[in-house]
Chain A
Amino acid sequence: MSDITLNAAAKVAEAAPRSAPITQIGFVGWLRANLFSGWLSTAVTLLLAYLIVRWAIGFVDWAFVNAVWSVPNNQTQACRDLRGTGACWAVVTEKHRFILFGTYPYDQHWRPALCIALFVGLYIVSAMRRFWRKELALIWVAVLAVIGVLMWGGVLGMPYVPQERWGGLVITLILATFGLALAFPLAILVALGRRSQLPAIKAICVLYVELIRGVPLISLLFMASVMFPLFLPEGMNIDKLLRAQLAIILFAGAYLAEVVRGGLQSLSKGQYEAADALGLSYWQKTGFIILPQALRLVIPPLVNTFIGFFKDTSLVLIIGIFDLLTAGKTAIIEPAWQGFGIEVYLTVGAIYFIFCFAMSKYSQGLEAELNRHRRH
C-alpha cells in the first residue's frame, strides 16, 4: 500500500505542471460560469439570445435599412408608403432646428446653441472636484448672467428676442439649472429650519416640505399658471416661464431639503457639541463645521435628485411652455408630419438620455470615490 503511494507521489513530482482545463479558464471558462452553468441557465441564455437577435434585426431593418432620411418639400408620401416597416427620420431631419430651438428667430440660432454649450460647460466644471470652491458660485452667477444676455439680446448688436419666442432644449436647461441654483439655498435654509429648536420656524418648514411633497408637480404648475395671476395686484404680471420656474423652485426646494436634512442627521452629535464648546455662534457652527461635512455626504443623492428634476421639467408641457418635449410634440402637429411621433420621441428621448445618463454615471462614480475610505 505504502509502496504504491510512494510511486504515485514520485510520478506526480516528475510530471510537468499542467494548466487548468480549457473548460475552466479563459473565455470558455467564463462562458461556462456565466452563461451555461446549468440547464436552466443555458435555456435562459439561448432564449434571450434568440429574442435579442430577432429584435435587433427587426430594429435595424426599421431604423436603418427601410428608413427614409429626407423628403423634398414636406412631401411625406414616401414615408407613408412604408406603412410602418421603416422609420421616417425625415421628420427629424426637417424639424431638428425646431425641436432644439423652438420658434427662436432662425438666423439667431447660434445664440441658444451657444447657451446650450455654456450650460454643458458649466455642468462639466461643476462636476470636477478641483473646482469645488467658493469661486464656483461666482462662476455660476457669471455664466447664468451671460446666458440671460445671449437669450434676450438687445445689446452688442444682438437683436432683442422676447421670451415668448424661446423654446426647445435651451428652455429645458434653463428650467433645470436656474431651478437647482435657486432651490438649493432654499433647501439648505429649510433643512436647517426643520432641525431648528425654534418651534415656530420648525413648524413652518415641516408644513412646507410635507405639503409640497404630498401633491404632484402638475398641481403646482397649474397653480402657477391659473392661480398665480390672481395673487398679484392688478396691473402686475409675471410671464408664464417665470411662474413655472417659481413652481419648480418651490417643488425642488422641498425635495432637496429632505436630502440635505439626511446629511445633517448623519453627522455625529460630537461635531455639534465640539462646535458649541469652541464658542462658535449658530451661523459660524453651521457654516464652518456642519454644512461642509453634511453637504459632502449628500452629493450623490443630490445628483440623483437633480436627475429627477431634469426629467420633471418636461411636465411644463401640460401648461404649454415650449421646452424640448413640447417642441417635439408640436413638431408633429402639422398634418404633413402627423403619425411620426415614435421617431420624434426617440430623438427627444436620446437627448434626455445623454444628459441623465452622464449625470447618473457621474453620481455612481462619485459615490464609489467618496465611500472608498469606508471600505475597511
Chain B
Amino acid sequence: MKHAGNVEAETQPASRLRAIFTHRAIWPVIALALIFLVDGIISPGFFQIRVVEGRLFGNLIDILYRATPTALVAIGMAVVIGTKGIDLSVGAIIAIVGAVITWRIHAGDPHGLVLLIALAVALVCGLWNGFLVAVLDIQPIIATLILMTSGRGIGLMINLLYGGTNPSFTSPFLQGLSVGHIGLIPTRLVLFGAIFLALWLLVRRTAFGLLLEAVGGNPAAARIVGINARLVIYSAYLISGFCAGWAGVVLAADTHTSDPVSIGLYVELDAILAVVIGGGSLAGGRIYLGMTLLGVLVIQALTTSILTSGLPPEYNLVVKAVVVLVVLLLQSANLRAALYRMFARAKP
C-alpha cells in the first residue's frame, strides 16, 4: 500500500470520506443516483407512486417489476462467478423452461405440477453444466456455451413435439405468480424477495457460503484444506440453473407463450454485467448478492429512463454500453491514478 502513510496523516473526517469513496458500492450508487437525478429533471412526475386498482403503480415500481427476471438470473450468476465460473446458458435455460411449461400445460398436467416439472428441468440443466465444469474439468465459459448454443434448439424441438411454432397457454396459477399481486405488491417481487433471502442466508449465514468463496478464491488451497471443490462448484451451477428456472417461469407466464428464439435473449449478458457493476470480479472469490441487485437496478433504471425520457429505444444499447464502461473504468485503480496525476499536474 503506497498511500498508507498519507491516510494516517490525514484528519479524521477526510479519511472517513476516503473510506466512503473507496467503498465498492460508491460507483454503482452514484450511477443510480445520477440516472434518477436526470429522470427527475426530465419528467417531474417520475417518482410518483399511485395505487391503481388495488396495486402500486409508478416508474419506480415498474423498474423493480421489469428487473425481476434479470435479477433472479443475476443472483444465481453471482454465485457461479464467485466460484470463478460463468454461466452463459441461463437464457437457454429460460427458453427450455418456457417450452416445458407450455408443453406440460397442453398435456393437461395440474399447474402446480407443471411448476415443479419446470424447476426440475432447470435443475437438470444446472446438473449438466455442473457435470461439465466440475467433473469433466471443462472451462466454464465453453462448458456453458454448449447448452447456450443448443438450448434454444431444444426449446424449439419441445414446441414441435405437439406441433406448434409459438404455442400459447393460459394458466391463472402461473400467471398469478408472474403478473399478479399480493395486496399492493406485485407477486413477482415477493417471490424474488423470498428467493433472494434464502440465497443470502445460504451464502452469508452457512458454512456452505464460505466454501463457495473459498473455492473461487483459491481452488488449490481449498482442496488442500479438505474442501470437496467439485461438489461445491457443482452446487453453484445447480443454484444458477434454479434461479434461471424461476426467471423462466416469470417470463413465460408473463408472455404466456413459448418463444424459445427470443425469450430471455441477452439476459446472460445483462446478468454478468450486473454482477461486474456490483464489484464482483470474474476472477472469483467474492459473492456480493446485494451489490449484484444494485447492478441490476442500474441497468433496468437506465432502460426505463430511456423509454420514459422519449429518446428512441434504439439509443438504449449505446447508452447502456457507455454507462457500463464509465462505471467500470472508474472502478479501475490504474485509470483513477492516471486521471489523478493528470489533474494534479494541471494544478499549479
- Mutual binders A and B: no
Residues of A within 8 A of B (CB): none
Residues of B within 8 A of A (CB): none
